Structure 1
Amino acid sequence: MKLVSALRRGSDPVSLSFLGVTFTTGMAVALQVPTLSLFLAQEVGVRPFLIGLFYTINAVVGILVSQWLGQRSDLRGDRKQLILICCGAGVLVSLLFAFNRHYWLLASLGVLLGSIAGTASPQLFALAREHVDREGRRADMFSSVMRAQFSLAWVIGPPLAFAIAIGYGFSFMYLASALAFLVCCAIVWRWLPSLPLPAPLGDRPKVSSWRDRDVRALFIACTLMWTCNSMYLINMPLYITRELGLEERLAGLLMGTAAALEIPFMLLAGHYTARFGKRPMLLLAVLAGVIFYGGLLSLTGERTLLMLQLFNAIFIGIVAGIGMSYFQDLMPGRAGVATTLFTNSIRTGSILAGAIAGLVAEWWSFHGVFVVAAGLAVLALLGCLRVRNV
């Protein structure tokens, strides 16, 4: 009922435009990311190590670019204008991937443009928070509805991406992504508000969060979780097609199924966290992750792989749903630093995943990547046990 009420209160054109841009940017990303390793292998023709290197470069540049743009937006920038620039970069990177097949150009200019485009999402959430604060409305529920748009986009996007790539080619798929970013530009320009920067809160003492044992353990655990997830996203399409000999469309179906199941688990996690606390919910999530990656080691049929997505959805849905607020509860009064730590755990996981997945796949096998992922999931479970409950 709270979700329905939030949707009703958010039915004004500005709020609907926030939801529309969130969903459309999610679709644009969901058209690109699931097929990227397949694109690099088949269209660009590079070996597994260079595929993993691409993901690592992408994650490192993404951290640097988003950090720089985020600081500039907090100091002097109009977030609406920055979101427009980011969506424009999304159009350009989509066109580059549609018509170019030179690896190092994609790994340099393509990664740079993609990193700028990727900054649209955090800036969109920041602008939405400033908007609802000015309206005197609850920010938490509206933010939850916005986050659900990404999951909904990932229900539709991956199967659609593989269908377009298989039926019409990768160029057509990237053109569809460019169209999605163009739609975002139009919505942002027409309906999103242009707000002045909030008044500065003054200087605050800088305290190293790394000295806090709980924060340190949670960061390491979250990094390991996102490393597992990124390794799965990188490795799974190639594992499905090259080692199991299954159809390419199954990769998109698996991703879409997991994304669809994540939405209810994300909402349920918010409900039961108030009753049991965050650590038991996070332990449940990581235990589901251990079961998921352990299952990938022995289950190879299409039906069983689809059934395994239930555990993948529990894993990612709960971590994505309560991970950020866990950091914030452990660091009261430092919500900005806490949010940055959670975001950096995702990006650090992507960096590690790119290196690990590429090396293991080249020296061992695509199946071996899941062996490593299962081991990392167990380590993440042990790390969560060291974090106090809140």
Structure 2
Amino acid sequence: MIWFLTKGRRLNPVYAAFMIVAFMMGIAGALQAPTLSLFLSREVEVRPFWVGLFYTVNAIAGILVSLALAKRSDNQGDRRKLIMVCCVMAVANCVLFAFNRHYLTLITVGVMFASIANTAMPQIFALAREYADNSAREVVMFSSIMRAQLSLAWVIGPPLSFMLALNYGFTTMFLIAAGIFVISLALIFFALPSVARIEQPADVALTQVSGWKDKNVRMLFIASMLMWTCNTMYIIDMPLWVSSDLGLPESLAGLLMGTAAGLEIPAMILAGYYVKRFGKRRMMVIAVSAGVLFYVGLILFHSRTALLLLQLFNAIFIGIVAGIGMLWFQDLMPGRPGSATTLFTNSISTGVILAGVLQGALAESFGHYSVYWLIAGLSVFALILTSRVKNI
């Protein structure tokens, strides 16, 4: 990693800035997301239905706003300026949540701020892709190491989030997140480059009017959506399943998540290193196959040791999909990195929406065990679709 960030004997300051910004914004996001449901139920004092509704509205608004901003970013303007606007909205959102406890305000104004703020990360990755392309750098490894910063942030962020919220209060936690976004904004302003757009050849421009018209993009989107549906259903259900059905300690859920997040980092970096040798499709097929093994393993093995060992397959699955999947979208949509990256992140958001509906309905009607049978089936379907997408 240090070798990659250097040029000759000198540290490459632009690459280092991209890594630091990705890590810091990842930390700020990881401070807010894990305790959001706890904040809504304890501080805002709303029933579970309204907590779920907040997640659904937030995800849908995020998709609509990010698509609109991504289209604009690919067609006109300075992408770096858009990222700074998103950071300002992130600060405003944190301050709003720090001092406001009115549900209607949070689900309207708060969701609007959050929708714009959440566009920052895909735009940062799009800017990084453009910078790497223009400077003739190694795109895959650069993106993989950047994505690893987010995984590292999610190793540190969730336990820090609960510690701050439970010991010092939600106001303190949100204000610290706001401060991190302010520092990120300063780094973006002073350290990240503005990259001039490259005019695409006429044949490329004509064939890429709408990425969704390409059947390979559609298949990859559906496959990615199913992958993230599986992952989110697991994250939602696993803490309840471990304690209620398996009779294992509740603390095990946090250990399993932290173990997977830690193992994702080497998985991402190795994927970036080997992708040239094996190709994106083969790497993604390996990843989704690991996901299938992981979810089938959850059906068959329920001991503490087995669940911990299975996290290796989970890490390979998420680590490769999170990094290579985004690059595959970008390669299938040349000249439109913002739209491609946003399409990838929207596959995640759509998966989150489906996961909440499916997990709640299944767990309530048929029990937690049925959730994992559906997850296993969806992962097999995702594997079939992934294997049929054009290799780039």
TM-score range normalised by the length of the shorter chain: 0.7 to 0.9
**Secondary structure at the counterpart of residue 5 of structure 1:** coil
**8 Å contact from structure 1 (residues 49, 359) kept in 2:** no
**8 Å contact from structure 2 (residues 74, 336) kept in 1:** no
**8 Å contact from structure 1 (residues 18, 192) kept in 2:** yes
Letter of the 1:220 partner, please give it: I
Between stretches 111-120 and 8-17, larger displacement belongs to 8-17
Deviations 1:37-58 (A, max 9, x none): 3444444454544443332222
**8 Å contact from structure 1 (residues 151, 259) kept in 2:** yes
Query: Corresponding residue for 1:64?
Result: 64
Query: Corresponding residue for 1:124?
Result: 124
Question: How far apart are residue 196 of structure 1 and its match?
Answer: 6.5
| Gap change, CA 1:190 and 1:323, over 3 Å in 2 | closer
**8 Å contact from structure 2 (residues 73, 338) kept in 1:** no
CA RMSD across the alignment: 3.3
| Gap change, CA 1:70 and 1:233, over 3 Å in 2 | same
Query: Corresponding residue for 1:16?
Result: 16
Letter of the 2:324 partner, please give it: I
Query: Corresponding residue for 1:205?
Result: 206
Count of aligned pairs between the two proteins = 387
Query: For residues 84 and 344 of structure 1, what CA distance do their matches in structure 2 show?
Result: 21
Query: For residues 94 and 299 of structure 2, what CA distance do their matches in structure 1 show?
Result: 35
Question: How far apart are residue 317 of structure 1 and its match?
Answer: 1.0
Query: For residues 249 and 59 of structure 2, what CA distance do their matches in structure 1 show?
Result: 29
**8 Å contact from structure 1 (residues 37, 238) kept in 2:** no
Residue 52, structure 1, aligned to residue 36, structure 2: no
| Gap change, CA 1:138 and 1:319, over 3 Å in 2 | closer
Between stretches 87-96 and 138-147, larger displacement belongs to 138-147
**8 Å contact from structure 2 (residues 18, 192) kept in 1:** yes
Letter of the 1:312 partner, please give it: N
Question: How far apart are residue 104 of structure 1 and its match?
Answer: 3.5
Match of 2:287 among 279, 285, 291: 285
| Gap change, CA 1:263 and 1:326, over 3 Å in 2 | same
Letter of the 2:232 partner, please give it: S
Alignment of 1:308-387 (within 5 A): 308-328=310-330, 338-365=340-367, 368-387=370-389
Question: How far apart are residue 93 of structure 1 and its match?
Answer: 1.7
Query: For residues 290 and 263 of structure 1, what CA distance do their matches in structure 2 show?
Result: 20
| Gap change, CA 1:135 and 1:356, over 3 Å in 2 | same
**8 Å contact from structure 1 (residues 38, 237) kept in 2:** no
Residue 105, structure 1, aligned to residue 105, structure 2: yes
**8 Å contact from structure 1 (residues 53, 355) kept in 2:** no
Alignment of 1:1-390 (within 5 A): 3-9=1-7, 11-133=11-133, 135=135, 137-193=137-193, 195=194, 197-198=196-197, 200-201=199-200, 204-206=205-207, 213-237=215-239, 239=241, 250-297=252-299, 302-328=304-330, 338-365=340-367, 368-387=370-389
**Secondary structure at the counterpart of residue 269 of structure 1:** helix
Question: How far apart are residue 63 of structure 1 and its match?
Answer: 1.5
Deviations 1:318-340 (A, max 9, x none): 21232233345556777666545
| Gap change, CA 1:211 and 1:134, over 3 Å in 2 | closer
Deviations 1:121-160 (A, max 9, x none): 1222233344445555444433333222112212211222
Query: For residues 260 and 229 of structure 1, what CA distance do their matches in structure 2 show?
Result: 16
**8 Å contact from structure 1 (residues 32, 174) kept in 2:** yes
